[in-house]
Amino acid sequence: MRQITLKIVLAVMATLPALALAHPGHEHTNSFMTGFLHPLGGLDHLLAMVAVGIWATTLGGRAIWAVPAAFVTTMLVGGGLAVVGIQVPFIEQGIVLSVLFMGALLLASAKFSLLSCALVAGFFALFHGAAHGLEMPLTANGAVYTLGFATATILLHSVGMAFGAVVASIQAPIINRITGSVIAVAGMVLAFA
């Protein structure tokens, strides 16, 4: 448990030096901050990404790292597709569905094979990545912007993983189910907003 907590703290700390570079007038820094703020600025992105971290922790074992890694990797693919002009259909619907579905997985305490879980996370990540890619400013440095949204995503997954680790340490899985229900309801609200 302490190793997981230490890794999460180190991952969060690794993102902090980049935040210190956020001074106006530096193209790469602005690109990074624009990318970094995109997932943090939308409730849909934020909820889905935190939920992935919580779910990965509830799955345990190799899923703790494999599920978020599948999400980040496929999100980068989705962003790349959007940047080169390949359209991913139903982006907004896919993002909203990811919030609803991830909440439902937490509510149900759903556990599947590692591959299935990684595929679920990756499927939804494609929509999130495409949205990030489409919303990249024309003046942004693509690589630095991508680094920004990938870093924010890893941070959000880490927050979810830390939450899941705390819930596991106090042996109160009902908290994950309640959190899942709140996330799923938020997904329904987003669907009709």
Is 19 part of a structural domain of the chain?
Answer: no
Q: pLDDT tens digits for 44-80?
A: 999 999 999 999 999 999 999 999 999 999 999 999 9
Residue 126 has which token pair? 């494609």
Is 87 part of a structural domain of the chain?
Answer: yes
Distances (CA, A) of 19 to 38, 81, 127: 14, 27, 26
Is 113 part of a structural domain of the chain?
Answer: yes
Q: pLDDT tens digits for 9-31?
A: 445 444 444 433 333 443 445 88
Parent domain of 41: 30-191
Is 73 part of a structural domain of the chain?
Answer: yes
Q: pLDDT tens digits for 76-120?
A: 999 999 999 999 999 999 999 999 999 999 999 999 999 999 999
- What is the pTM assigned to this prediction? 0.83
Domain tally for the chain?
A: 1
Is 2 part of a structural domain of the chain?
Answer: no
Is 129 part of a structural domain of the chain?
Answer: yes
153 φ, ψ (degrees, to nearest 5): -65, -45
The per-residue pLDDT of the chain, averaged, comes to 87
Is 89 part of a structural domain of the chain?
Answer: yes
Is 51 part of a structural domain of the chain?
Answer: yes
